[in-house]
Amino acid sequence: MLGASAALAISSCARRPASPRPLVSIVRHPAYDQGLYDSVRRLLLDHKLNVRGKRVVLKPNLVEFDSATTINTHPLLVHAALEAFRSLGAAEVRIAEGPGHRRITLDLADAAGYFQIVPSFDGVFTDLNLDEITPRRLKRPVSKLRTVYFPNTVLGCDLLVSMPKLKTHHWAGATLSMKNLFGLLPGGVYGWPKNILHWAGINESIADLYAAFPNTFALVDGIDGMEGNGPIQGTPKHAGVLVAGDNLPAVDATCCRIMGIDPLRIGYLRMSAGAEALAEHNINQAAEAPRAVRTDFQLLPGFQSIRLGGA
């Protein structure tokens, strides 16, 4: 699709060998309070993440100017993660996002409360829409994408932490840690929205972006999510959980079960991991079991078929 002469293939994209039963933690946390700092730190310790001396990028989901709803990842959770990774010895922790619709990212972050919550936010934040870029050729893409320009901030990090909001999505069914990777594409090249991903196939593009970044971790803001016509116009839905793990399809499958959605009916999950890997018995669920915290999210009429049975 793009000129590939100068492009480098992503050579290091061999994903870490998947654990037979990837660990996914579900922790109850009822509110955005100071206790988040301790909860997040303990979550990361449970997963034995070795980030000493590493460069970590936290990728929240910043979508819209509205601090009164549950569209954006809560800044207190992002700050808790920033502090936790620093305390674990990370050499550098940055927050980075490339919103898909609104192009004035710092205004968006300001409206979402990031400047108020994260000290010196300007200094630790990278607008991925306007970052330095490098073309990368995708290996064995399933979408129509071939070569993609990626921001150097994410290409150069040792660990990319996807921090989505627990939300339904009016095209993909659910938007979680994998769909959150759409924000990695630079709007400065592709525009607002990054419409190239829609023409290349939404589910397929999500799968390709996931494959392009092998060192990932997910920390999902499931305290207050969004149901119905997500990811922007839905209704706030309290779920009171944090969900974390280094296997993004397993994390997202777990989130789906919490939302009362059948993960096997989410196209990009099936495509990325296969039905067997998404089965609940093949995921090592730590702390809470999905059914113990299940709270069915309302689904749009056209999405009733993805409802998980056994409520």
Contact residues toward another protein (CB under 8 A) are 2-3, 5-6, 101-104, 106-107, 110-111, 115, 121-122, 127, 130-135, 149, 170, 188-193, 195-196, 198-199, 229, 232-233, 300, 302
User: Cα-flanking dihedrals φ and ψ of residue 57, to 5°?
Assistant: -115, 125
Quote the Cα angle for 232-234-240, to 5°: 105
d(CA 229, CA 222): 17
Beta-ladder partners of 58: 95, 161
By C-beta, is 85 or 125 nearer to another protein?
125
d(CA 258, CA 227): 12
By C-beta, is 88 or 300 nearer to another protein?
300
Q: Compute the least distance from the CB of residue 152 to another protein, in Å.
A: 9
Q: Compute the least distance from the CB of residue 84 to another protein, in Å.
A: 24
By C-beta, is 191 or 240 nearer to another protein?
191
Q: Compute the least distance from the CB of residue 111 to another protein, in Å.
A: 7
By C-beta, is 228 or 240 nearer to another protein?
228
Q: Compute the least distance from the CB of residue 62 to another protein, in Å.
A: 14
By C-beta, is 50 or 233 nearer to another protein?
233
Beta-ladder partners of 261: 307
By C-beta, is 48 or 304 nearer to another protein?
304
d(CA 224, CA 297): 11
By C-beta, is 153 or 272 nearer to another protein?
153
Reported residue count of the chain is: 311
Q: Compute the least distance from the CB of residue 134 to another protein, in Å.
A: 8
Q: Compute the least distance from the CB of residue 24 to another protein, in Å.
A: 30
Asked if 73 and 220 touch (Cβ cutoff 8 Å), the reply is no
By C-beta, is 111 or 286 nearer to another protein?
111
Q: Compute the least distance from the CB of residue 63 to another protein, in Å.
A: 12
Q: Compute the least distance from the CB of residue 37 to another protein, in Å.
A: 22
Distances 71 to 108, 230, 243 between C-alpha atoms, Å: 12, 8, 17
Torsion, CA 187, CA 188, CA 189, CA 195, rounded to 10: 30
Q: Compute the least distance from the CB of residue 156 to another protein, in Å.
A: 13
Beta-ladder partners of 25: 244, 286
Could you tell me the two tokens for 170? 């009016």
User: Cα-flanking dihedrals φ and ψ of residue 281, to 5°?
Assistant: -70, -10
d(CA 205, CA 143): 5
Per DSSP, the residues of 143-191 read SS--EEEEEHHHHT-SEEEEE-EEEEETTTEEE-TTGGGGGGS-HHHH-
By C-beta, is 3 or 20 nearer to another protein?
3
